[in-house]
Amino acid sequence: MVRHGETDWNVQHRVQGWIDVPLNQKGRTQAKKVALRLQNEHIGAIYSSDLKRAKYTALEIARHHKLPVKPTKLLRERNFGKLEGFPRDEYRKVRENSGIPYHLYKPPGGESYLDVSKRTRKFLAEIKKKHSNQAVLVVAHGIVIRVLISLLTKSPLEKAHEIEQHNAAVSVIELKRGYPPKVHYLNSTEHL
């Protein structure tokens, strides 16, 4: 799993969600660096969020593997509804003032972590059917990757927000039938 490169809204600490913010220059450089890090990996398929910040990152990686990028809405970032574009500090105050647990809070018109979990479960079910015994690269967003990590490692969703995910970070989880998931990397950024 790879989080997309940096955007101006990451720098400005704004809530992005489904707003289709492109990578900035640093983000495009990060995409190239993560692509070089992964160039010798044996990847069987590449899936990406359909938002341009993730797709650009995925396309940089795909160049080294001669594989198509399969964009999907199932990997989109959490929808923050009417709070998209808000400074993260303001969003945090609204969420805290709601008194609703972190993973259950749903911004007006948006999604909770639980909603993202339901969406990403559908994605994982598709992947298991189509790509058993293959390494699958997923290029997505911070919250989606946190939720995927929680699902794959059977960690509590209530704790997913505590999993760090930097821009262009790599996380690798190995799944073998009959064995517990093996975490090789979480939020690895030494390539940057």
Domains in the chain with CATH codes: 2-182 (3.40.50.1240)
Residues 23 and 57: beta-carbon distance below 8 Å = yes
Mean pLDDT over the full length of the chain: 97
What pLDDT was estimated at residue 10? 98
- Report residue 74: phi and psi, to 5°: -65, -20
Task: Return the ∠ at Cα 78 (arms to 120 and 101), rounded to 5°.
Answer: 95
Confidence of residue 132 (pLDDT cuts 50, 70, 90): confident
Residue 48: in which H helix or E strand, if any? Answer: strand 45-49
pLDDT score of 177 more than 90: no
Indicate yes or no: pTM above 0.85.
yes
Distance CA(137)–CA(2), nearest Å, equals 8
Residues taking part in catalysis: 4, 141
